[in-house]
Structure 1
Amino acid sequence: MMTSCSLVPQQSTDDVVVVDGKNVAKGRNRQVLGDIGNVVRGNYPKNNEPAKINHRPRTRSQNATLLVEDNLKNPVVKRIAVPKPKKVAGKSKVIEVIEISSDSDEELGIVAVREKKATKKKATTYTSVLTARSKAACGLEKKQKEKIVDIDSADVKNDLAAVEYVEDIYSFYKSVESEWRPRDYMGSQPEINEKMRLILVEWLIDVHVKFELNPETFYLTVNILDRFLSVKPVPRKELQLVGLSALLMSSKYEEIWPPQVEDLADIADHAYSHKQILVMEKTILSALEWYLTVPTHYVFLARFIKASIADEKMENMVHYLAELGVMHYDTMIMFSPSMVAASAIYAARSSLRQVPIWTNTLKHHTGYSETQLMDCAKLLAYQQWKQQQEGSESSTTTKGALQKKYSKDERFAVALIPPAKALLTGTESA
């Protein structure tokens, strides 16, 4: 049963609702509550008696009054009328909704005060539309950042790939590669010059092909040769002997079935005896203190080619440029093995018109940017152009071993592909 109660005095402009002597809620943009009883304020009948409300309260949208049950010790607020705030043009509106409910007949619970901000939508102007279209037409729109490809995902189940440690292994290789680089030794060699070294290395390429040795054998042979020449002067007549002994050592290290000493003596037209080759092998090992486990060019080529996601043609092109760089003394001395390997990738992609030339995946795995590779890549492109000029002027029988090796169809004749003009002209864009 409901009974009428006295009217609540008019509240202040701060709109504070008082329940049981305590401030319950406060709103800035709400009108003052006129009544918290079961009577209607204002518009009384002619007899000046307040009209009783015997029906259920109306909804909030109809500005319902509040009802209080007088049989409770503490009043329980059922509904609060929230007038609609006035709309202000150009400003975001804030709506404050206060909900008060009771969990039981003994407690008065305040649920929450929520603020909902109606954000103003950004208007699309004619200028912004024209600017977006202009950027799209000029190719200046923002491009999605290229993702780094996980090149080891296919080898997760391959124990020999050592996927868990491969990143640490190559970080170690790059950190120690400078320790095993040959120094500039031509000044300390009285009887040897750069051209003689070039002829020897190209002859070793020919021997390497005839014995069908692995690529890593060739790169280790050149590393042993240069490191030995860096620490000990060699007479001109013994230079080929050093090359033969270095090839024998690297074959024993890398190959399952290395060539025999007699085979090496035979291919050198018996210029050196069996004993001379073995004595020189011992001399080289003593000078190098038996250090043969070194990060050669091939170590980095294997990883960088995988990062470039190359096909067979691209792979042969990279090896051609890398061997071309190893053949020349200035490239071998000026740049580290990882730099030459990465530059061979860059020059090969430029020659074969790969787009983009340098990807984020290559940058991540090689550790080099395009700017860092530009000097070495230009040098390789120049050596490639010079090799082709010399090959075109000579007959097929007098071509160098490297040119003949990579002019065959089985290697996609990559030696005949011209270098990128951008690298020859000195510009960085293809």
Structure 2
Amino acid sequence: MASNETFLPIQQANRDVNQKHPVQGERRNRRALGDIGNLVPASTLNEIGKPQLQITRPITRTFRAQLVANAQAVDKNAKKPQEEASNADVAQKKHEETPRRKLKKPTKSLTSVLTARSKVACGITTRPKDPIINIDQSDINNELAEVEYVEDIYKFYKLTETEGGLRDYMNSQPDLNAKMRAILVDWLIEVHRKFELMPESLYLTVNIVDRYLSMRTVPRKELQLVGISAMLIACKYEEIWPPEVNDLIAISDNAYTREQILGMEKAVLGVLGWYLTVPTPYVFLVRYTKASVPSDVEMENMVFFLTELGLVHYSIVMGNSHSKLAASAVYAARCTLNKTPAWTGTLKYHTGYCEDELRNCAKSLVNFHACASETKLKAVYRKYVNPEKGAVALFPPARSLMVELGGGESS
């Protein structure tokens, strides 16, 4: 048996090694570790992949309640991220549906305030645009109003209002003058009122007279015959029951025979080429009065009163187109009735005329209004002094448009 001295060198060598590598030496001398409970068998994993609690003691009533509470806590923790995500979606949706708050208006600087005040002082303020009113809105279901085509119709009227052959003819009539024409038209207005004819008939009658006189020379003694024949033609064109020839003979105090009236009727139609569908001032008056919002019976009567005053005067008829005469009458009527503003954007849109273009003609109409009760030719005045016409002839004329009569026609 070997002695201890025999193993001393070996033990000494091991000690030297252990001093140099102490961990390795301990590992060599340490026994293998057993199960310390940190390894979980695969069978102990639950459905969500988490380790189940190892039950190493009897399940009491209290312990069972604790296990159930722990399981519910685990489920709540698993559902919490999903609930947070859904709550975030709901909050985002509410945020999108909630209207955004209006941004605070930036405060004006001192420079902008001073600039605005300077513009006001200089009279260069920018006024808001006058809105264009749809005057056909109330007639949208009225088939007779032709709402779809009415604007195109009136554009066509304005293009063709100068194609009727009407021109300045008084210099070519050696036997006639403007005063004689005024007397004839005044008498025709009186006849028109007594027969209770449509307004279209009166305007077409005057148009036929002027067109015929611009094409043919007429002696003074036949001027009234031309007027009677023109009214007969206009009534046959416009009226359902036109007056008979005998009625016209009677109202002209038997100045002409039946044959003379029918002969002049045929001559007038031949000269005019049977061209009777012309845009008279009446068609424009109807449209422009409607554009004078708000329009009422008083406004309509005043417009027709001023227009008929203009029809009597040769210079007004020849110096203005039919549409311009109608627009001027509407403008003068608004000034007479103190409508504000006197000329609106809606009227400018539908008439095509601005206020400055109408002022001269409107001034003449207002002056005729001021003198209507004093002139010898009072057919228009008597017609519109009647309460049935609103007695608009008694209204004071528009002071803003009144000028002294001078250089015009004397009636």
TM-score normalised by L of structure 1: 0.66
What is the distance in 1 between the residues matched to 2:157 and 2:377?
Answer: 36
Backbone CA RMSD of aligned residues: 2.4
Q: For residue 205 of structure 1, what is the aligned residue in structure 2?
A: 189
Shift in Å, 1:183: 1.0
When Rg is computed on C-alpha atoms for both structures, the one with the higher figure is 2
Structure 2 match to 1:160: 144
Paired residue for 1:383?
A: 368
Which stretch of structure 1 is more off in the superposition, 174-183 or 381-390?
A: 381-390
Q: Distance in 1 between matches of 2:305 and 2:123?
A: 36
**Counterpart amino acid of residue 180 in structure 2:** M
Counterpart of 1:420 in structure 2 is: 398
1:188 aligns with 2:188: no
Alignment pair present for 1:250 and 2:234: yes
Q: What displacement does 1:302 show?
A: 0.7
Corresponding pairs, count: 301
Q: For 1:178, give the aligned amino acid.
A: T
Q: Which residue of 2 aligns with 1:317?
A: 302
Structure (1 or 2) with the greater strand fraction? 1
Change (3 A) 1:133 1:223: same
- The percentage of aligned residue pairs carrying the same residue is 57
Q: How does 1:228-247 map to 2 (within 5 A)?
A: 228-247=212-231
Unaligned runs of 5+ in 1: 1-118, 391-397
* Equivalent pair of 2:367/2:403 in contact (CA under 8 Å): no
> TM-score normalized by structure 2?
0.69
Q: Is the 8 A contact 1:217 1:250 kept in 2?
A: yes
Instruction: State the shift of 1:136 in Å.
Output: 8.0
Further displaced range: 323-332 or 416-425:
416-425
Q: Partner residue of 1:150? A: 134
Distance 1:132 1:249, change over 3 A: same
| 1:389 positional shift | 3.8
Aligned-partner Cα distance in 2 for 1:351–1:331: 19
- Preserved CA contact (<8 Å) 2:232 2:243: yes
Contact 1:219 1:297 in 2 (8 A): yes
Q: What's the counterpart of residue 339 of structure 1? A: 324
RCO higher in structure (CA 8 A, sep ≥6): 2
1:138–1:409 CA distance, 2 compared to 1 (3 A): farther
1:181/1:336 contact within 8 Å kept:
no
The one-character-per-residue Cα deviations of 1:139-160 (angstroms, maximum 9, x if unpaired) are 9764432211111111111111
The 5 Å alignment of 1:16-415 reads: 122-126=106-110, 128-129=112-113, 142-309=126-293, 310-390=295-375, 400-415=378-393
How far, CA to CA, are the matches of 2:381 and 2:165 in structure 1?
A: 26
Q: Alpha carbons of 1:188 and 1:141: their partners in 2 closer, same or farther (altered >3 Å)?
A: closer
Q: Which has the higher helix share?
A: 2
Residue-by-residue CA offset, 1:320-341 (whole Å, 9 max, x unaligned): 1111111100001111000000
Q: Deviations over 1:336-386 (max 9, x none)?
A: 000000000001111111100000000000000011112211221222223
2:63 — aligned with what?
A: none
In 1, the alpha carbon distance for the partners of 2:106 and 2:346 equals: 38
SS at match of 2:381: helix
Contact map agreement 1:301 1:341 (CA 8 A) in 2: yes
Which sits farther off after the overlay, 399-408 or 296-305?
399-408
Give the letter aligned to residue 325 of structure 1.
G
